[in-house]
Amino acid sequence: MSQVLFCQEKNSEFFGDTFYQKKQYDLAILEYEKTKLLQANESVRDNLNSKLALSKMRQSKFEDSLDYILDSKTFTGTYLRIFASMKSEYDKIYTPDLLEVEKSNTFSELQKDRTKLLAGTVLLENRKFKKAKEFYNQLSLKSKDEEIQNLSKDVAAYTEKYNQLSHKSPYLAGLFSAILPGSGQIYARHDVDGILAFFFNTLFIGSSVYMYRLESKANEGHFVSGFMGFMGFTFYAANIFGAVSSANRYNLYQERQFYKKIRDKFFNIDTMERYSEVKFNVRF
């Protein structure tokens, strides 16, 4: 009976790896779950959980993947947990994990260096590209692993492209909109915002001037024109602040896209899978 269960367990894991290789992740998950039900060995179960987590990550379900590896103490589980929590922006998970790996006596220097590669992405995500460049340059000098050295150098070199990013000056955007409402937003590539700002400013300021003339001719108080003027001033001030905000949003978007390119190029799932040392029974 035990031999039958053993064969069934091995077949399920083999099928799971095969489905994973073929990118049929839902089927891979089913087979891995079946294997877990038959498996009592803790280390084998931990590796299965890592493969389950990876299958979820392949489906871009990073938060769901954490359910499988949240309590893992192995390097594989910890490494994948750091990666998944970074993708999910759960700093309360990956921050203590990064410190734990650094202080650990059970993980090798290579494993620690691989974790440092991920640690540097925190600087990138916070748009501290100069510090990130220094961090990866230092890692390339300190690591004894040639692949880590080369990857660190590549990341450091790529961060220099930050200076080539298109940035919009918030001061210029505000100045442009102060001169011509809406022009600052258009300068910051927010055309619709610029058109709306120009329309409402023209509407209220123009209406205020028009009503003032009518009230003057009729020898009436300037209540309506005063109200329209107040609204016009409010929209004018909002137009200037909006232009500054548009420039800041444009710059933030450019930096976020730049970080995404670095992450996709150097810290993709294929690389993380290999660095995590997860074990498959099928050779890819």
The string of pLDDT tens digits covering residues 130-180 is: 999 999 999 999 999 999 999 999 999 999 888 888 889 999 999 998 898
What pLDDT was estimated at residue 282?
64
| Nearest-angstrom CA–CA distance, 64 and 217 | 71
What pLDDT was estimated at residue 12?
75
What pLDDT was estimated at residue 284?
53
| Nearest-angstrom CA–CA distance, 20 and 26 | 9
| Nearest-angstrom CA–CA distance, 234 and 123 | 39
pLDDT tens digit string along 236-268?
Answer: 888 899 999 999 999 999 988 988 899 889 999
What pLDDT was estimated at residue 2?
44
Gyration radius (Cα) of the chain, Å: 29
Cα 258 to Cα 117, 118, 253, 264, 268: the distances in Å are 17, 17, 9, 10, 15
What pLDDT was estimated at residue 7?
47
Confidence of residue 4 (pLDDT cuts 50, 70, 90): very low
Tokens matching residue 84: 């998944």
What pLDDT was estimated at residue 147?
94
Q: What is the mean pLDDT of the chain?
A: 86
Q: Could you give phi then psi for residue 256, rounded to 5 degrees?
A: -65, -40
Q: Is the pLDDT higher at 91 or at 265?
A: 265
Confidence of residue 3 (pLDDT cuts 50, 70, 90): very low
CB 31 within 8 A of CB 23: no
Percent of the chain with pLDDT over 90: 51
What pLDDT was estimated at residue 211?
64
Cα 244 to Cα 17, 32, 166, 193, 256: the distances in Å are 52, 52, 16, 12, 18
CB 178 within 8 A of CB 261: no
pLDDT tens digit string along 262-283?
Answer: 988 999 999 999 999 999 986 6
Flag whether pLDDT at 55 surpasses 90. Answer: yes
Tokens matching residue 270: 């294929």
- Average pLDDT on 68-81 reads 94
- Give residue for tokens 């970080």: 259
Please give the span between the terminal C-alpha atoms of the chain, in angstroms, as a whole number. 32
- Single out the residue of 92, 89, 93, 91 nearest to residue 81, CA to CA: 93
CB 121 within 8 A of CB 267: yes
Q: Is the pLDDT higher at 106 or at 220?
A: 106
- Give residue for tokens 């919009």: 168
Confidence of residue 219 (pLDDT cuts 50, 70, 90): low
What pLDDT was estimated at residue 44?
87
| Nearest-angstrom CA–CA distance, 55 and 73 | 20
What pLDDT was estimated at residue 124?
87
Q: Could you give phi then psi for residue 26, rounded to 5 degrees?
A: -65, -40
